[in-house]
Amino acid sequence: MSILFVLLMFLLVMSISYFRTRHEVAAQPDAWAGPQAPRTQPEYGFSIPEGYAFYPGHTWVLKEGGENAQVGIDSFAANLLGKIDHVDVIGLNRWVRQGQKLAAFRIGDEAFELVSPVEGVITSINRDAIEDSTVIGRDPYQGGWIAMVKSPDLATNQKNLVQGGMLAAWLQNSVTRLNGMVTQLAPTMAADGGLPVAGLLPRVPTDVREKLVKEFFLA
């Protein structure tokens, strides 16, 4: 009798379980959508990607894991330069110091140097940006990255970088200073409020250009 009771209870439990789960769909693993674009927040007409840190010379760094970091120029620098004809990176396996020349950006007959945001060895160069340098201006934070740097002292270097809540004020200050300098030094090129004119740097007189490069690119 007890065995029959146990069998009946077992059948009852199985029946209840069947009717509760028959309409449930098994969970499917999420399909990988590939690399995602960095989330950005608009500030003063520029998009600032979250998680990036910036050197005062308007280059950025993004930690990739371990001691590796991706580096490039920010949207302020890209806007100031305009259409880039060619970029020359200092070279593979070269040691670069924070604040030292990383690459030269050629526009016509002019070359503009920007500095590295971190110290370390250049382990790879973005060949897509070398072959089509216009991608740097179109997509400076993702497709237009410049190089990968192995930086053992990345944590120390970060103390000299602008990041987090400081970014908005720093960028606002850069835009305000730029507009003020252009209004004073090259009035005909000054913007009527808001963003500076795209591709401004190659278009101003040589003496003004030198002052702007020293002020904003720290080169």
pLDDT tens-digit readout, 137-175: 999 999 999 999 999 999 999 999 999 989 989 999 999
pLDDT tens figures, 24-78 = 333 333 222 223 344 445 555 667 788 999 999 999 999 998 899 999 999 999 9
Please tell me what DSSP assigns to residue 201. Answer: G
What is the model's pLDDT at position 50?
87
Distance CA 44, CA 58 (A): 15
Distance CA 57, CA 162 (A): 10
Distance CA 161, CA 25 (A): 49
Confidence of residue 200 (pLDDT cuts 50, 70, 90): very high
What is the model's pLDDT at position 44?
55
Is residue 4 pLDDT above 70, yes or no? no
Edge-to-edge strands, sheet with 68-73: 53-55, 59-65, 68-73, 147-150, 120-125, 95-96
What is the model's pLDDT at position 157?
96
The two three-digit tokens of residue 121, written as one number: 């060895």
177: phi then psi, degrees, rounded to nearest 5: -65, -40
- Mark out the alpha helices in the chain (DSSP H runs): 2-21, 75-81, 127-131, 134-138, 154-157, 167-185, 206-212
Is residue 18 pLDDT above 60, yes or no? no
Confidence of residue 192 (pLDDT cuts 50, 70, 90): low
Residue with tokens 């880039």: 84
pTM: 0.79
pLDDT tens figures, 113-133 = 999 999 999 999 999 999 999
Residue with tokens 């030292």: 100
The two three-digit tokens of residue 76, written as one number: 């302020």
